[in-house]
Amino acid sequence: MEIKDIHRVYFIGIGGIGMSALARYFRFIGKEVAGYDKTETPLTLELSGHDVSIHYDDNLELVPEAFLNSKGTLIVYTPAVKTTHSEYQYFLRNGFIIKKRSEVLGLITKDSFCFAVAGTHGKTTTSSILAHLLKETGTPLTAFLGGISEDFNSNFLLEGTDYSVVEADEFDRSFLRLSPNVACITSMDADHLDIYGNAEELKKSFLQFVDRIKPGGKLFIRKGLPLEGITYGIDDDSDYCIRNIRVEHGAYIFDLGTPEETYSGVKFNKPGRHNLLNGLVAFAMAIQAGSPPYRLAEALATFKGVQRRFSYRIKNEDFVFIDDYAHHPTEIDAVYDAIEEMHPNKRVLAIFQPHLYSRTKDFGDDFAKSLSKFNSVLLLEIYPAREEPIPGIDTAWLMGKMTNSRKKIIQKKELVSEIKKQNPEVLVMMGAGDIGLEIIKVKKELEYAH
């Protein structure tokens, strides 16, 4: 199926961050769009404002009649939706063309010069920086992002169709549907073991992804990964390297070395060495579009960030409130290190919502070690997402592994009163579940107190 043959697109799970970006793309190019999701969110409300029909009950009678005609209709679904979903089953039984989100991304980007960002951490931030750099240097691009860019206030950017920026997601082996011209791999830490079984299978999948790069294409890899490619790193002998880092007024100032030249006094405003690395590889990739390196270096300084990626919700002299999507031990470590670097010697209260029973079980010891670094920790119940409970695996089990003496399981309704009681100098809320909705409430309450 070619894009030109599609007249209508129906999304099962339209409110997901990646799915909603696709929905916006199809609406933008003039296709009829409708969809189902379990709950109403700011993303679904925004889509509804763009003439997209959305309903929240699994009920075929609520699907607009035109979308029940299989001719010219494409059905897109997310793996988060169970295959027992009655609408999905109807489309399956009646000969509709049904594709996963990743397949549709591959279809859209195959005729463009495609930049794909892969890795178990950093995909959304790196692809958002890359999209920002390309836009700032006048590159005609389409970007599908896994978060809300604070530069575009959106998870979707359409400035042209010559180039595309996509996240190459390892979950469910989705990234094997892409054929990029330029790719990067930021990390290959064990994750999604409910899909892969073990770390070795995950690594094999990344090697298969590398084989998907088009002939003559380029691969950028973080220094130290067991792959062949153009390397990037901090204070080492990488092909692209950041050196002489200093912190001024909460921003990094550094020298950026390329195989051809070194650019001095480059500025980057997002805290965390992990974010510096994300900015570096985005810079290196953007050069492949023909953008002048000195302009890209200037554009790094104007990158605002991505919502829920070390986002400052409140930042005063006496109190800092940070919000982050971290849901893996390595990501929690990166948040801790960034807080230590930017806000040293402060009393830090961390609130964490574990995401998935399987991930909590697979990395229980690592989660406990990472969380125990904080002065004080509040834990919410595990957010199940697509999973059924695993006997014996719950928040109390995780907390029992922690060595921190100041730890507590808490209900959402108790959050504000407990935060006020503890009165931290730095508050950080982390997780990939519905904790994001609680952050809005907490900010509203704490703004008046500070």
Q: What is the pLDDT of residues 103-143, one digit of tens each?
A: 898 889 888 999 999 988 899 999 999 999 999 999 999 99
Lookup: tokens for 419? 């935060």
Does 110-300 match 311-449 in CATH topology?
no
Return binding residues. 119-125
CATH code of the domain made up of 110-300: 3.40.1190.10
Given a cut of 60, whether residue 192 has pLDDT beyond it is: no
Q: Residue 450's pLDDT band (boundaries 50, 70, 90)? A: low
CATH topology of domain 311-449: Protein-Tyrosine Phosphatase; Chain A (3.90.190)
Annotated binding-site positions for ATP = 119-125
- Maximal CA-CA distance, the chain: 63
pLDDT (mean) for 71-98: 92
- The pLDDT of residue 146 is 87
Q: Strand 230-234 vs strand 240-248: parallel, antiparallel, or unpaired?
A: parallel
CA distance 180 to 185: 12
Sorted by where each begins, the domain ranges of the chain are 3-99, 110-300, 311-449
Give the pLDDT confidence score for residue 378 in this predicted structure.
Answer: 98
Select the highest-mean-pLDDT range: 17-21, 308-312, 399-403.
399-403
246 CB neighbour count, 10 Å cutoff? 8
Q: pTM for this structure?
A: 0.85
Pairing of the two strands 32-36 and 154-158: unpaired
- pLDDT higher than threshold 60 for residue 196: no
Instruction: Find out whether 360 and 367 touch, Cβ atoms under 8 Å.
Output: yes
pLDDT value at residue 4: 83
* pLDDT computed for residue 110 by the predictor: 85
**Calpha distance 154→59 (Å, rounded):** 29
* 336 neighbors 330 (Cβ within 8 angstroms): no
pLDDT over threshold 60, residue 42: yes
At 386, the pLDDT band (50, 70, 90 cuts) reads confident
Q: Which CATH superfamily is domain 3-99 in?
A: NAD(P)-binding Rossmann-like Domain (3.40.50.720)
